[in-house]
Structure 1
């Protein structure tokens, strides 16, 4: 055996560990999905706490009107929630659109905060802190500017968090609104169902552990006050605040009946920019929380620290080595003594990968169809390989930003 064989063994072991963990999460998620079929939520509450819905927005003129209208139509007493739009240093027509909506709804609790390049323009965390300073709610609910939550989403979130004082936050499910637009949005839709909400369900079922997404969640105001607000240096502020909640002794529960629909990137350029931001932000969170992986203070969130380290360091390196060895092998530039065994293991991994996705998408009506079957078959060779590039670029940009101490700014996801 030579060094290339050892690199191949390393790659296969890491890839299999990652696939195994994701399969376990999907199985747990499917069990939780079956449980949710039996959930019966009340249509009303005896007492409705006052809720502040905050929407950070930067140049969102294309989508903001539809978002605000959906929030105004939520099935929740009008006098028991306010909507705060943080129009953060926008240079488009967002301000005019929001002003017009306010005029048409003079009796609603609709607050618009317009910031400039001095007070705002420093990222989503900063915008949320600005909105938080103006909010009055006992509970805070966050939505991204491209979201259209279903009418029952808010009441499901609030009902769930009221049932247990140990719940610091409750997250809902988000679906891809433009999933049929092209092949990329079909990939994202399947990724969302499998690696995001199904994995969330699995982590809650097996570990009572969830990570806050950037949208469609409720959190206790008192906890944000205790934390001192959102970390303005965090690009993925949702992941970062999740770790802090668990260290404070609170849980984050997944309530899939609270659904929002969001727009996903429709071009590779926009997708690369968005996912590169996510990767860089998650690496920042890992670096910030790495010290807790071997301490009791980290609690159950140590699993997430381990998982992120596995994905962004070990799995990423394994994918790079695996692809490099494959290319060099095809070019006959290297000799691998265990190549035959590796092909068998790779085929097994591919089959397990596809099967776990089929199980995940079967939980959503209409998603397990022939078209998606074909999309899943090519996903491993296309979309997943693009993820490796994005993760590598995210790591590079994190290192560069750390060295040059760059200020966090808005990373705008283009809307369509």
Structure 2
């Protein structure tokens, strides 16, 4: 049995190294796009909000400045703070700002439901004669800051200028990646760890996630994200007719929408030439909450594998990529369990037979080499890629530190995947909002007391 587990873990390692190569090569060769005139389209931003008074005023102000022709549909999901009041102030004087309010018990049932509500409000508002293939719905987080060139870039001939393209996802950067402001209650070590988390999240989105999207661009299975997501209204209409609503119940409703766009016969593009900026989380607790929700949503989307396999719009490469991504949490859980069993049995053997410890020491260099090749290197390489593509002013020593940091950072996945499976077993499917950095503190006598 142990020989089978050994072979299984090695096979997973080899498969993962192969996958890294497959995503790295197209990422390094990704072509540029030529921007076009965004005036050829009508743009509507959907901004879901639940208790977002800390960020929403800045987001609306910036969006109206950078995208004066766009309409903003701010969805207040029964906020308990001043979110609605802030947005209403804009709406009272600006016809391009629309406050969309939901109330419990219909409210707070998930981001997908909030987006569907705004979708129907948009349909009621649009003229009957509107060309819905020229209307683009853009989903932006309440803290999202898109680059001013985003609409022109997405209007390119090979993005929405191509009628076969139904949706697009722009790159995501962390706007606070260089934040070095100390938190008075964390201490020096805690502040260093918070800065490490911020940097790792920026590296993750700008290299590993972007590289995954580069491979998906080749296989025709680009995934949509929850921030910087662009979709033709006509495609949302088609999905709504077939499935009841454009967005559905998975906690990864963005990826789920992307699957539906592809199943409907349209292309999804990933756009590197512009980006949306969002907050990275300096708190491990909040990061685990966020990524547990993502992992659970990933697992929930496994049900689409059958439709993907049978679809005439997805070729063999797309089926393989989608299936691998969706079953990855199961493989990671099996791989983690196999490693723990093997490691536990090895420790037990050493305890029973001290001579075996000497044998293990003799094999230490070989084991270290295998671990370096199959475990450390596939993650550490991204530190150097990040330096070259994203932070060229950094030193190579810093890049090495980032690379080793990635290796440690990725172990959060095992915690989140385990928590996600537990939530599914317990039938806990509620959507848990991640607190913004500006609201994650309790203030006592004017100073920060606790971070939550």
TM-score range for the pair, normalised by the shorter chain length: 0.7 to 0.9
Distance change >3 Å, CA 208–CA 362, structure 1 → 2: farther
What pairs up with 1:86-101 in 2 under 5 angstroms?
A: 86-101=75-90
> What does 1:10-159 correspond to in 2, within 5 Å?
10-32=8-30, 35-36=31-32, 39-42=33-36, 44=37, 47-75=39-67, 78=68, 80-103=69-92, 106-135=93-122, 136=126, 138-159=135-156
Q: Which has the higher contact order (CA 8 A, sep 6+)?
A: 1
Match of 1:238 in 2: 254
In structure 2, the residue matched to 1:299 is: 314
- Paired with 1:10 and 1:263, the residues of 2 have a C-alpha distance of 38
Distance in 1 between the 2:351 and 2:253 partners?
45
**TM-score (norm: length of structure 2):** 0.81
Q: Distance in 2 between matches of 1:371 and 1:360?
A: 11
Does structure 1 conserve the Cα–Cα contact (< 8 Å) formed by 2:75 and 2:102?
A: yes
SS at match of 1:73: helix
Give the counterpart of 1:347 among 351, 366, 372. Answer: 372
Q: Could you tell me which of 202, 205, 211 is aligned with 2:223?
A: 211
* Cα shift readout 1:56-107 (whole Å, capped 9, x = no counterpart): 11111111112112211224xx3x421100011111121122123334xx24
Counterpart Cα distance in 2 of 1:269 and 1:132: 33
Question: What does 1:264-275 align with in structure 2 at a 5 Å threshold?
Answer: 264-275=280-291
1:308 lines up with 2:302 in the alignment:
no
Cα pair distance change 1:108/1:305, threshold 3 Å: same
Q: Distance in 2 between matches of 1:184 and 1:13?
A: 30
Q: Contact 1:194/1:361 (CA < 8 Å) preserved in 2?
A: no
Deviation at 1:209, TM superposition (A): 3.0
Pick aligned residue for 2:305 from 290, 315, 326: 290
Of the structure 1 ranges 224-233 and 181-190, higher mean CA displacement relative to structure 2 is found in 224-233
* Alpha-carbon distance between aligned partners in 1 of 2:333 and 2:312, rounded to the nearest angstrom: 28
> What is the alpha-carbon distance in structure 2 between the residues aligned to residue 208 and residue 235 of structure 1?
23
Looking at structure 1, the residues matched to 169 and 431 of structure 2 have their Cα atoms a distance apart, in angstroms, of 24
How far apart, in 2, do the equivalents of 1:398 and 1:218 lie?
A: 30
CA 1:52–1:304 in structure 2 vs 1: closer, same or farther (change >3 Å)? same
CA displacement, residues 269-297 of structure 1 (integer Å, 9 cap, x when unaligned): 101110000000010011x2122354344
* CA-CA distance at 1:21 after TM superposition: 0.7
Q: 1:166 to 1:237 in 2, by over 3 A?
A: same
Distance (Å, rounded) in 2 between the aligned partners of 1:325 and 1:52? 54
Q: Are positions 1:415 and 2:436 aligned together?
A: yes
Q: Is the 8 A contact 1:126 1:230 kept in 2?
A: no
Indicate the structure (1 or 2) with the bigger Cα radius of gyration: 2
Q: TM-score, normalised by structure 1?
A: 0.87
How far, CA to CA, are the matches of 2:401 and 2:383 in structure 1?
12
Could you give the per-residue CA deviations for residues 164-205 of structure 1, whole angstroms, max 9, x where no partner exists? 11111011111011223411111211111222122212321x
Which is further off, 82-91 or 194-203? 194-203
Deviation by residue 1:299-335 (Cα, 9 ceiling, x = unmatched): 1442343222442111332133224533553563587
What CA distance in whole angstroms lies between the structure 2 residues aligned with 1:378 and 1:139?
39
Match of 1:193, SS state, is helix
Shift in Å, 1:212:
0.5
CA contact (8 A) 2:72 2:97 kept: yes
Give the conservation status (yes or no) of the 8 Å contact 2:150–2:274.
yes
Which residue pairs with 2:171 in the alignment? 173
Question: Could you say what secondary structure the match of 1:53 adopts?
Answer: strand
Contact kept, 8 Å, 1:289 with 1:305, in 2: the verdict is no
Residue 201 of structure 1 is aligned with which of 214, 226, 231? 214
**What's the CA shift for 1:7?**
1.2
Structure 1: gaps of 5 or more residues: none
List aligned pairs for 1:394-405, cutoff 5 A. 394-401=420-427
**2:405 corresponds to which of 374, 378, 384:** 378
Q: Does the CA-based 8 Å contact 2:332-2:414 persist in structure 1?
A: no
Moved more, 300-309 or 255-264: 300-309
Distance 2:75 2:147 in 1: 21
Q: Alpha carbon RMSD of aligned pairs, Å?
A: 2.5
Structure 1 pair 91/294, CA: closer, same or farther in 2 (3 Å)?
same
